[in-house]
Amino acid sequence: MKTISISVKTSAHTQMIDITDEIAKAVRESHVEDGICTIFVPHTTAAVTINENADPDVVRDFTKEIDKIVPWEDGYLHSEGNSAAHLKSSMIGFSQQVIIENGRLLLGTWQGIYFCEFDGPRMRKVLVKIQEG
Ligand code: ZN
């Protein structure tokens, strides 16, 4: 099955965007009933994670705390000036996999798929691969 590319427009320096609906749409359109959905972020200063999508404060706490763990300024050597974004991306990770059952993503009740921007705002891309089996 073809790789699907989804565009994500971020509007802040650090931001988490719920992309669950876009991924679910790709799964529906694939007509795959049982399989695996891989979500991959082809950037070095962004990431993808799965976390609670019920209370927006979770996302606010997440972005606030990750900025404390990896501060934007800390005497980094990387001349581009965005080392913190590179570090956060590797910490969170560039891909997630979700099981597809009966044509739907088998996410937990409170789980959503989040694109994580660490050096925005920018136009970004998320790649989705859906495999049957
Ligand atoms: Zn850089």
- Name the residue ranges covered by the structural domains of the chain: 3-132
> How many A from CA of 5 to the centre of ligand 1?
23
Q: Quickly state the pLDDT bin for 74 (edges 50, 70, 90).
A: very high
Q: What is the percent of the chain with per-residue pLDDT over 70, rounded to a whole number?
A: 100
> How many A from CA of 80 to the centre of ligand 1?
5
Residue 1 has pLDDT above 90, yes or no: no
Residues with a beta carbon under 5 angstroms from ion ligand 1: 80, 82
pTM listed for this prediction = 0.96
Q: How high is the mean pLDDT of the chain?
A: 97
> How many A from CA of 115 to the centre of ligand 1?
19
Q: What is the percent of the chain with per-residue pLDDT over 90, rounded to a whole number?
A: 99
> How many A from CA of 117 to the centre of ligand 1?
14
> How many A from CA of 45 to the centre of ligand 1?
7
> How many A from CA of 81 to the centre of ligand 1?
6
Average pLDDT over residues 36-49: 98
Confirm if 13 and 119 have CB atoms less than 8 A apart: yes
Report which of 18, 80, 3 is spatially closest to residue 45, judged by C-alpha positions.
Answer: 80
3-state secondary structure (DSSP) of residue 1: coil
Matching CATH number, 3-132, of 2.60.40.10, 2.60.120.460, 3.40.50.40, 3.40.50.300: 2.60.120.460
> How many A from CA of 47 to the centre of ligand 1?
14
pLDDT (0 to 100) of residue 128: 98
